[in-house]
Structure 1
Amino acid sequence: MATLIGNNREQMQMMSFEAFIGKNNPVRLIDAFVDKIELNKLGVKIPGAVEGRKGFHPASLLKLYLYGYMNHVRSSRKLEKECERNIEVRWLLHELTPSYKTIADFRKHYPDAVRILFSLFINLLKEAELIGGKTMAIDGSKFRAVNSSKNNYNQKKIDRHQEFIDRKINDYLAELEKNDQEENNDELKIKVDKVQKELERLAQRKLKYNNLQQQLDNTEEVQISSSDPDSRALIIRKNIVEVSYNTQTTVDEKHSLIIDYEATNENDSKALAAMAMRAKEVSGQEKITVLADKGYHNGEQIAQCEAENISTIVACREQPTVKHLENEYLVENFIYDKENDTYTCPQGEILKSNGKWYNKSHDSEKKKKTRKNITNYRIKQYKTTACKNCPLRDKCTKNKSGRLIERSEHQDAVDRNNKRLLSEKELYKRRQAIVEHPFGTIKRAWGFSYTLLKGLKKVNGEMGLIYIAYNFVRVKNILGFDKFMELLQNWHPDYSGFHFLSVLRSFFSSFRLRQFFHLIFPPQKLLVLYRT
C-alpha cells in the first residue's frame, strides 16, 4: 500500500509516561511552579489521615486548573474528561482522575488562596526584573455574569411589570363580572375556572414583584439581580448593556504583565485612585506614572493620585454641547488667572469670586441618590456685573443674573493632568497597546468573556486563575523554557504575612465588605504593616 500504517494497537510497549512528555513541554513548568508552593500557608486545607477513601491533594487540583486555563479549558466537567484522555494531564496528575464536583469545589472554596498565589507570582516576576514598575496602564473590562438580563431589575422594570399585572387582573375581574350575569352552563363553568386559575397565577407574579420592590427599597443600589446578587447591568459600549462584572486591571509597561486586578460591579469613574495606589505598593517605587482612558477622568480621583506622588495621564471627557451657547462662549474658552483667582471671558471682562467654597453633589447615575453614586466636592463661583450691559449676553448665557462659572476644588490637579496629556502624547498612545493586550488575548483568543462563578469573592478567584495563566504563558514566551524553569527552581516564596492577609479577607467577606477591603487596604501595604 502507498499509505503509512501505524503501530498495532494491541502491541505492548515498554514505555513510561515520562517518555511521552517532551523536555520543553510547558506542562513541566506548571508542575515545577505548583511544587514550589506550600498551599497550607495560603489557607488551603490539606486532607489529613481519615477513615474511608483518601482525598485529592489540592496541589493536583491547582495544577489541573492552571493547565486548563492555559489551554482554554475551564469547565470542571471538561477538565474531568481531560484527566482521562489527555496524556499531558495524566502525566501532570500522576493518572489521578478527580470528579467534576471535586474539581469545581476547589475553585469555589479557595478564591482567597488564588489571590495570594497571584501576589506570590508577581513577587517572583519582580525578583526576575520582568516588571518595570515605573509606568502602568489601568483599565476595566466587562465579563458577563451568570445572570441574564431578564433576572436583573430596576425601578422602571418593576413598575412596568406591576402595571401590566394590574391591568390583566382588572381585565379578568371584568370578565368574571360579565360571566356572572350570564346563564350557568358547562361551557361557562369551564371558562370561569380558567379565568380563576389565571388570576391565581397573576397573584403569584404580583407577589414576586412586590418582593423585588421590597428588596430594592431595602438597598442603596439602583438595581438588583436575582440569579447572581452581586452582578449589575453595566454599559459595555454606547447603548449596549449586559449584566456583568467590571474587572479593574493594572498592567505594567515593560512586558504587558498584569500586576494587580479587582473584580467590581461598578463603572470606572471612582476606581482610579485605589487601583493606582495599589499599583504603587506592588511596584515598590516612590513615584509612578499611570495611564487611563476618559472613563477614569474624575477630579477627586486625580487629586488623590497626585497627593500620593502618582503622576496621572488620563484622557479628558468629551464636553457636552450646550444648545443656547455659541462654541466661543463655552467654559473652556474662559481664561483662568491663578494668581488673582479670576476668569477672563472672551470679551475681556473679569469674573471674580467672593472667596467662599460651596458644597456640591453629583449623582453619577442620575437615577437614585445613594451614598454609592453620589460625589461630594467643593466649588467656587465666579461672576461679573458686566453681563448686564453686554451686547452678546444671549450668546453666552440665559441666566438672568449673568454668566456663572463654577470651579472645583480639584480643578488645579485636573489642569495639570490635562497638560501632561498634551505634552506626553506619545506615551499616552502606548496605553492601548499596554493594557488592551491582555484583554485581547483573554477575551478574544482564549474566549474567556464571561464568568462561571457567582458573587464578587468567587469571581475574583476565577479572575486570579485567568490572570495567573496569562502571566505564566507570557513569561514563558519572554524568557523561554530553560530560563523560566531555572527561575522556578531557584525560587523561594516568601509567605510571611499571607496567612494574616487571608484571615482578614475572610473576616471582611463575611460582612459583604470584601470589595471595599481591597480598595482601602492593598495587599502589599498590609504585608508591610504586618511584617514590621
Structure 2
Amino acid sequence: LAPDHKTIADFRRDNGPAIRRTCVQFVELCRRIGVLKGDCIAIDGSKFKAVNNRDKNFTKGKVASRTAHLVASIERYFEEMIRIDRQEEGEARAEKIANLAQRCERIRQEIERLQEMDRALEESPGRQISLTDPDARAMATSAKGSGFVGYNTQAAVDTETHLIVAHDVINAGHDRDQLAPMAREAKAALGRHEMSAVADKGYFSGREILACHRAGITTTVPRPETSGNRTKGMYVKADFAYDAAADVYRCPAGEVLTYRYTTEEGGLVLRRYWTNVCQRCPIKARCTTGKERRITRWEHEHLVDEMRDRMSRDPSLMALRRSTVEHPFGTIKAWMGATHFRMRRLKNVRTEMSLHVLAYNIKRMISLVGVRQLLAAIPA
C-alpha cells in the first residue's frame, strides 16, 4: 500500500479530531498492558516555529519601530536632496533629486500601509497580525533576541516511562493558564482518581493550583520571585513565618503581624496583616520604605505552603521535571528539523503535533516492550 502524497495530506486535513483521539487511545493501550501507571506527570511547554517569518508578524511595538525608522529615512533623503540642490548643477542634480523623491514616495506609501496595519491591530486577537499564518503569534524565548513567530506546545509526560499522556498547542506565549487544563486532561487519560503533577514557575497561578486541588491533583510548582527586594538585600514575604493556629505572621525582628481586613482583587480573596511597631524597628530599612510592612495572604495560600514544603522535603522534584519533559520536546524538534511546523492555522498545527506525539509514543513503547509485545496488545 503506497498512498499518494495528496491522499495523505487530505487524510490529515480531514481527520484532525480522530488523529487526536488516536493519541488518547494509545495512552489507554499503554495503561491497559501495565506499562503506564501515571503516578506523577511533568508538565511543560515549548515554543515551535510556525510557517510565518518574523517580518510578516506585526505588533504595536513593531509597527511603531518600523514607522520611526521609515520617517528617519525620509528625513535623511530630504537632507540629501537639499545638499544636492545647493552643491550640484545640471542634469545630474535633477536626476538625483528625482530618484530620491521616488524613494521618499515609496517610503510614504509604506508608512500609510503601516498606519492601516496599526488600526487593524486594535481589533485583532492578542493585538498581533501574522500575514502567512493568521493564528501564529510572536513568541519570546529565554535567549536574548531569539524570539520567533510560532506556537506554544504543551505536554504532560509520565515521569517513569517518558510517554506523553496529554498534549495541546496554543498560541499564547505564556503557560500560566495551562496547569489545570493539562493536568485534568492527563488525569482523564490515565483514568486515575488522584495524581501528582510537577511544573516550572511559569505555571504558577493561584487559580490553577486551586482547580487542580479540587480535581484531586497534587501540584508542585515553585513560586516565582516577583519582587526585586531580595537582590537589594531586603526582606521578602518568604522571610515572614505564618502561624496557622494563631492566624498571624512573625517578622524577622520577632514582631507579630495580626490580621486586619479582607479584600478582593482580581477575583481572589486576600487577607491583610501588619503591626503598628514598624516605626521603632531597628531593621525597618531592610523591610519597608512605608509606614508599616503589610503582608497579603490568599484565602487558599495553605496550598502554596504545602507545595513549598514538598519541594523542601524533595529538592529533586524540579530536576525530575527537567529530565522528563526535555527529552520528548527535543526528540520531536529534531524530527521536525529547523522549520518545525509545516502546516498553517491552529487546528491544522494541532493535528500535525498529534501525529508527532503518536509517533513518539509508539517509538517509546517499542523501546520499552518491543515490537512483538506491542503488536500483540493492539488487537486486544
Q: TM (normalized to structure 1)?
A: 0.65
Equivalent residue letter for 1:386: V
Pairwise CA distance, 1:294:
2.2
Cα 1:133–1:391 shift into 2, 3 Å: closer
Q: Do residues 168 (structure 1) and 64 (structure 2) align?
A: no
Q: Do residues 480 (structure 1) and 370 (structure 2) align?
A: yes
Q: Write the deviation string for residues 235-281 of structure 1: whole angstroms up to 9, x where unpaired.
A: 33243422221110011234221111001122222210111111111
Pairwise CA distance, 1:324:
8.8
Check whether the contact 2:136–2:150 (CA below 8 A) recurs between aligned residues: yes
Q: Write the deviation string for residues 334-357 of structure 1: whole angstroms up to 9, x where unpaired.
A: 111223322111112122232221
In the other structure, the counterpart of 2:29 is 124
Q: What are the within-5 Å matches in structure 2 for residues 405-444 of structure 1?
A: 405-426=295-316, 429-444=319-334
In the other structure, the counterpart of 2:185 is 278
Equivalent residue letter for 2:249: Y
Distance of 2:214 and 2:165 partners within structure 1: 22
5+ residue gaps, structure 1, are 1-91, 361-375, 492-532
In the other structure, the counterpart of 1:159 is 64
Indicate the SS of the match to 1:236: coil
Distance of 1:287 and 1:434 partners within structure 2: 20
Cα 1:318–1:383 shift into 2, 3 Å: closer
In the other structure, the counterpart of 1:262 is 168
Check whether the contact 2:230–2:236 (CA below 8 A) recurs between aligned residues: no
Pairwise CA distance, 1:310:
0.6
Check whether the contact 1:324–1:397 (CA below 8 A) recurs between aligned residues: no
Indicate the SS of the match to 1:230: coil
In the other structure, the counterpart of 2:255 is 349
Moved more, 222-231 or 173-182: 173-182
Cα 1:410–1:201 shift into 2, 3 Å: farther
Q: Write the deviation string for residues 485-525 of structure 1: whole angstroms up to 9, x where unpaired.
A: 2222x24xxxxxxxxxxxxxxxxxxxxxxxxxxxxxxxxxx
Q: In the alignment, which of 328, 331, 335 is matched to residue 241 of structure 2? A: 335
Q: What are the within-5 Å matches in structure 2 for residues 121-520 of structure 1?
A: 121-172=26-77, 186-239=91-144, 240-266=146-172, 267-318=174-225, 320-322=227-229, 326-327=233-234, 329-360=235-266, 376-399=267-290, 401-426=291-316, 429-444=319-334, 447=337, 450-488=340-378, 490-491=379-380
Indicate the SS of the match to 2:22: helix
Pairwise CA distance, 1:330:
2.4
Check whether the contact 1:342–1:350 (CA below 8 A) recurs between aligned residues: yes
In the other structure, the counterpart of 1:115 is 20
Check whether the contact 2:121–2:127 (CA below 8 A) recurs between aligned residues: yes
Pairwise CA distance, 1:177:
7.2
Check whether the contact 2:50–2:339 (CA below 8 A) recurs between aligned residues: no
Equivalent residue letter for 1:457: K
Moved more, 346-355 or 283-292: 346-355
Moved more, 179-188 or 457-466: 179-188
Equivalent residue letter for 2:229: V
Indicate the SS of the match to 1:233: strand
Indicate the SS of the match to 1:354: strand
Q: TM (normalized to structure 2)?
A: 0.88
Indicate the SS of the match to 1:450: coil
5+ residue gaps, structure 2, are none
Check whether the contact 2:249–2:258 (CA below 8 A) recurs between aligned residues: yes
Pairwise CA distance, 1:213:
0.8
Cα 1:125–1:134 shift into 2, 3 Å: same
Indicate the SS of the match to 2:349: helix
Moved more, 190-199 or 274-283: 190-199
Q: Write the deviation string for residues 377-435 of structure 1: whole angstroms up to 9, x where unpaired.
A: 33222222101222322222111x22122223342211111112222445554323332
Distance of 2:268 and 2:50 partners within structure 1: 33
Equivalent residue letter for 1:431: R
Equivalent residue letter for 2:194: K
Equivalent residue letter for 2:364: R
Cα 1:188–1:108 shift into 2, 3 Å: farther
Cα 1:197–1:102 shift into 2, 3 Å: farther
In the other structure, the counterpart of 2:9 is 104
Aligned-residue RMSD, C-alpha? 2.8
Over the matched positions of the two proteins, sequence identity in percent amounts to 32
Pairwise CA distance, 1:222:
4.5
Q: Write the deviation string for residues 100-144 of structure 1: whole angstroms up to 9, x where unpaired.
A: 444434334432232122223223323323321332111112212
Indicate the SS of the match to 2:17: helix
How many residues matched? 378
Indicate the SS of the match to 1:355: strand
Check whether the contact 1:325–1:397 (CA below 8 A) recurs between aligned residues: no
Higher Cα radius of gyration: 1
Check whether the contact 1:122–1:259 (CA below 8 A) recurs between aligned residues: yes
